[in-house]
C-alpha cells in the first residue's frame, strides 16, 4: 500500500492493529453511606434511587416565590 502512495490506508491499518479493544469498563459509585458499589446491578439500583430522590414531587413546594420584579429598564 505504501508503494502505491496510499499512506492513508497504511496509517489506518496501523491504527486498527495497534489499538486495544476493551470491553465495558466497570463503574463505581458511592451509596448514601459512602460505600463504593462495583456490581453493575447495585450501581443501577443506586442510580434509580438517586433519580427518584432528585425528582421526588412530595418534598418539592408547589409554588416557588422568586421575588418581585425590581427596577428593570426595557427599551
- Ordered by start, the domain boundaries in the chain are 21-59
pTM: 0.45
The Cα 46–Cα 29 span in angstroms is: 8
pLDDT in tens, 23-65: 666 788 898 899 999 898 999 999 999 988 888 867 766 677 7
Three-state DSSP at 37 gives strand
Give me 43's grid cell. 450501581
Choose between 56 and 70: higher pLDDT. 56
27 contacts: CB under 8 Å, gap ≥ 6: 40, 43
Amino acid at each position: 500500500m505504501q508503494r502505491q502512495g496510499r499512506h492513508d490506508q497504511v496509517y489506518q491499518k496501523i491504527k486498527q492493529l495497534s489499538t486495544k479493544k476493551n470491553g465495558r469498563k466497570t463503574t463505581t459509585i458511592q451509596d448514601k453511606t459512602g460505600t463504593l458499589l462495583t456490581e453493575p446491578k447495585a450501581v443501577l439500583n443506586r442510580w434509580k434511587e438517586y433519580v427518584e430522590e432528585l425528582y421526588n414531587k412530595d418534598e418539592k413546594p408547589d409554588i416557588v416565590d422568586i421575588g418581585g420584579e425590581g427596577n428593570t429598564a426595557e427599551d
